[in-house]
Amino acid sequence: MSVAKRRLAIWGSLLALLIAGIAYALRPQPIQVDLALAETGTLRVTIDEEGETRVRDVYTLHAPLRGQLQRITAEPGDVVKAGDTLLAQIEPAAPAFLDVRTEAELQAAVEAARAAYNFAAAELNKAKADLTFAEGERARARMLIERRTISQRSLEDAERAYNVAQANLATAEAGLKVREHELHQARSRLLSRQEIRTRSSACECVAVTAPVSGVVLQVMRRSEGVVEAGTPLLDIGDPADLEIVVNLLSEDAVQIRPGQKAIITGWGGEDLKGVVQRIEPFGKTEVSALGIEEQRVDVVLDFADPPERWRSLGHGYRVDVQVILFEGEVLRLPLGALFRQDDEWAVFVAADGQARLRRVAVGQRNSLSVEIREGLRPGQRVILYPSDRIKDGVTIVER
């Protein structure tokens, strides 16, 4: 072989190797993907929200009248019996301090009452004198009528004058009593706080007893002091009769019906079962932590487990509630495997090392899984979180 042919063979071989290397480097590479298995399992759809336990019937004890409340010694957790357990005592409150003008007005009222009393006493003396005179005139007229020296009309006038004098005396005595009480009333308005305290030792206090049997939940007013009528003093309830209240968005509450099951978690013990008792018919506007106005509805649940399992819970304890909307055996997939294709849901199925587009019909879903009603069979593997590189027919390899 000549030198020229040998060089041509060598350079031709090198060029062929170069072209083969470039072709190998530029060949389509399989895309690495994560795969999930379509399998039959339990799918649970819930509405999750924080809840709070509360005693079903809480009785707030209020002050029945205005007065001086003695210190309340009851402690939360104390057992009380209806009508027997004394919870509070209220005694008459001392009057307010008198300013200079008010004191002067009251002193003037005392003087006026004293003058009126003296006037009534003088009227009584006058009435007594008139009665004495009328009594003498009547006796004289009776004596003269026997002698036939005066007419019957004169005797009747004397009798009438005597009766009128008696009535005037009774009126004057009653008037004097009225003025005497008015004088005492005016003087009582000037009593000092020290005099009132010395006289109030015999006053009977108003005893406030427990209206129902149960346990003291909290004491709102403990210290001694003046309270107004209707001031809340303490709460009473039965901690063994608990319920759970959950504040849900109205759009979630409309999906719930009485009798639905629930799971209570996050309270410090094992998971508990609950049952929806009622959905409140009245919604409230509340502002979320982000400053957004929301319509909220209270949903009340009962415990389905025996009290021994949740005995350590009390009034106002925090719990996590999961209201079950759906629970059943279905063909399920992770939610991250689905995407929208036009107006339908679709997935990429891994078949013979390639991605195949498959449209599916979905049903129930939660935050992790979704029910597949049509389009897949149990055991098929689908691509999780498909990127824009995944197309129908593209070569794939499991990561």
- Give residue 35's pLDDT: 92
- Cα–Cα distances in angstroms (integers) from residue 172 to residues 63, 115, 137, 168, 333, in the given order: 45, 15, 21, 6, 105
Distance CA 143, CA 96 (A): 66
- Give residue 103's pLDDT: 78
The percentage of the chain sitting over the pLDDT mark of 90, rounded to a whole number, equals: 52
> What average pLDDT score do residues 101-106 get?
83
- Give residue 188's pLDDT: 83
For 179-207, give the DSSP string: HHHHHHHHHHTT--HHHHHHHGGGPPPEE
Is 90 exceeded by the pLDDT of residue 102?
Answer: no
pTM above 0.85, yes or no: no
> What average pLDDT score do residues 126-152 get?
85
198-220 confidence digits (pLDDT tens):
665 555 688 899 988 999 999 99
Q: What is the mean pLDDT of the chain?
A: 88
- Give residue 219's pLDDT: 94
> What average pLDDT score do residues 235-241 get?
91
In the Cβ-directed half-sphere of 20, how many Cα atoms lie within 13 Å? 6
28-62 confidence digits (pLDDT tens):
678 888 999 999 999 999 999 999 999 999 999 99
149-181 confidence digits (pLDDT tens):
778 888 788 889 889 989 999 999 999 999 999
Give the model's confidence band at 187: pLDDT under 50 very low, under 70 low, under 90 confident, else very high. confident
323-381 confidence digits (pLDDT tens):
999 999 999 999 999 999 888 999 999 988 889 999 999 999 988 999 999 999 999 99
Distance CA 67, CA 200 (A): 13
How many other β-carbons are positioned within 10 Å of the β-carbon of residue 397?
Answer: 12
Give the model's confidence band at 195: pLDDT under 50 very low, under 70 low, under 90 confident, else very high. low
- Give residue 202's pLDDT: 55
Is 90 exceeded by the pLDDT of residue 384?
Answer: yes
Helix (H, G, I), strand (E, B) or coil at 63: coil
More confident residue, 27 or 286: 286
Do 319 and 53 form a contact (C-beta atoms < 8 A)?
yes
> What average pLDDT score do residues 134-160 get?
83
Provide long-range contacts, Cβ within 8 A and 24+ apart, for 304-309.
Answer: 304/261, 304/272, 304/273, 304/274, 304/275, 305/272, 305/273, 307/240, 309/269, 309/270, 309/272
Do 315 and 55 form a contact (C-beta atoms < 8 A)?
yes
Domains (range + CATH), the chain: 31-42+329-398 (2.40.420.20), 47-55+239-328 (2.40.30.170), 64-94+201-237 (2.40.50.100), 100-190 (1.10.287)
For 349-368, give the DSSP string: EEETTEEEEEEEEEEEE-SS
- Give residue 159's pLDDT: 86
